[in-house]
Structure 1
Amino acid sequence: MSRTNATRMPELMSHEREALDALLDSEIVGNVAYVNDDGSPGLLPTAVARLGDSLIVHGSTGSRWMRLVSGVPAAVSVTSLGGIVVARSAFESSLIYSSAVLFGSFQVLHGDEKSAALDALTEKLIPGRLREVRPNNKKELAATLVLALPIDEWSLRVSDGWPEDTDDDIADDAWAGQVRWGTRAATVVDAPDLRSGIHAPESVRALHDRG
């Protein structure tokens, strides 16, 4: 059986690439799974961004985990948690979520591809920030390792339903429904060494307004 096929609850599986792209574009953190030199498992959360048909990660050229995942099989999970399905029993309660797992091998990017990937990561984290700051210099680029995972093999599960309570529980007096998180509030705080008169730029204000 393929590792992207569901062994349980196949009705939650989605095979729509647009749904996968929407999840990858909306979330900032992915968890990268890999195998250490001694054969033990490793897992590390890191910022991710989709650039076309690739998932981009970056870090220091001295990063041990990035060297370990370069050119060898790895997996990345990305999850969006939207709330809780509150059933009339603890057993039937569940989460509202979209969760994807991508499989493949990370490839090292160089030159223009590397610069474009770093720009994509910056725009993912702070849209509009690139036009407000200087470009990365040669020293910074040399100190940064950028990896791309082709979006070829993946699975996506989406759960956004109502409690599946038994008839006996429905006849009881317990409450049932959904608790949704809604949008996240954003707070902008000036750096303590910021000179007087320098105000938050458009990109940061947009992050605050977007929440």
Structure 2
Amino acid sequence: MTAMPESYEPTERTVPTRNRDRASYDRALVHSILDEAYVCHLGFVRDGAPVVLPTLYGRIGDRLYVHGSTGSRPLRTAGSGEEAPGLPVCLTVTHVDGLVLAKSAFHHSMNYRSVVVHGTAHQVTDPEELRTALDALVDQVVPGRADDSRRASAKELAATAVLRLDLDEVSAKLRTGGPNDDPADATLPHWSGVVPVRKTYGTPIPADDLDPSIPLPAYLASA
């Protein structure tokens, strides 16, 4: 088996016009940013106008699976089957890690990690791949949950649609560190620094009809 390259190949669409030093094409970094989230924004053109939809996704290797409904416009546009033209899309994922407060309003910023994927999305039609994709979507949100829940029935599968998007044209971009104030502002009497932003989870709340003998799963207890 041929080993995957350590980096994605930059393209005209994945090279930023500003702050190019913040861009990265490292495969492991891209995957780590994607694996830490589960909500993406999917952009495409509908009737000549841009549309951006928030939705769930899951990653398997160098492929993303994006959740949708059989009645949604992007799924109908993407078509089904390998011969379908697919839907040109731009998918983004972003983590905000800190609010960067500078002495001047102009230099306020954010510490962040983001991934942008360009490509053509196709609807998943193979039943086995669809089940695998749905497992990936569930586990992306709560790792280990797919094996601890009833799989989708045939009726539920018929009402669910998934888009497949390969990670071919992709880049990461990130900012770290403190504010970049102008030297002339160093003595201004304003607080400056970074306010960290972290994602936290609360204590799981059992459903009203949950059998009290069913314990909290280990994957939730450690979340």
Asked whether 1:98 is paired with 2:113, we answer yes
Residue among 140, 157, 171 paired with 2:173:
157
Deviations 1:85-110 (A, max 9, x none): 11111111100101111111112221
User: In the alignment, is the contact (CA less than 8 A) between 1:78 and 1:99 conserved in 2?
Assistant: yes
Aligned to 1:33: 43
In structure 2, the residue corresponding to 1:48 is in which secondary structure? strand
Do the aligned partners of residues 181 and 155 (structure 1) sit closer, same or farther apart at CA in structure 2, a change above 3 Å counting?
A: same
Report the 3-state secondary structure (helix = DSSP H, G, I; strand = E; otherwise coil) of the residue aligned with 1:46.
strand
Matched, 1:57 2:66: yes
Q: CA deviation at 1:43?
A: 1.0
Q: Which whole-Å deviations, capped at 9, do the CAs of 1:41-85 have from their partners, x for residues lacking one?
A: 111000011111111112221222322345021111110111111
Distance 1:198 1:60 in 2: 35
Distance in 2 (alpha carbons) for counterparts of 1:186 and 1:163: 31
Counterpart of 1:23 in structure 2 is 33
User: Is 2:37–2:140's contact at 8 Å kept on the other side of the alignment?
Assistant: no
Residue identity matched to 1:95 = M
* Code of the aligned partner of 2:43: A
Alpha-carbon separation, structure 2, partners of 1:165 and 1:60: 47
What is the aligned partner in structure 2 of residue 134 from structure 1? 150
In the superposition, the TM-score normalised over structure 2's length comes to 0.85
* Separation in structure 2 between the aligned mates of residue 200 and residue 23 of structure 1, nearest angstrom: 31
1:77 lines up with 2:92 in the alignment? yes
Q: Which runs of at least 4 in structure 1 moved beyond 4 Å after TM superposition?
A: none
Coordinate RMSD, CA, aligned: 1.9
Task: Give the unaligned 5+ runs of structure 2.
Answer: 1-10, 80-85
Deviation per residue, 1:157-176 (Å, 9 max, x gap): 10112211111211223222
Residue type of the alignment partner of 2:49: S
Contact 2:63 / 2:166 at 8 angstroms: preserved in 1?
A: yes
* Alignment-mate amino acid for residue 122 of structure 2: Q
- Contact map agreement 2:37 2:141 (CA 8 A) in 1: no
The match for 2:133 is: 117
1:2 equivalent in structure 2 = 12
TM-score, length-normalised on structure 1?
A: 0.89
- Give the letter for the 2:101 counterpart: V
Deviation of the 1:187 alpha carbon? 3.5
Q: Which residue of 1 aligns with 2:22?
A: 12
* 1:128–1:203 contact (8 Å) kept in structure 2: no
Q: 1:167 aligns with which of 179, 183, 186?
A: 183
8 Å Cα contact 1:127/1:203 also seen in 2 = no
Q: Is the 8 A contact 1:100 1:154 kept in 2?
A: yes
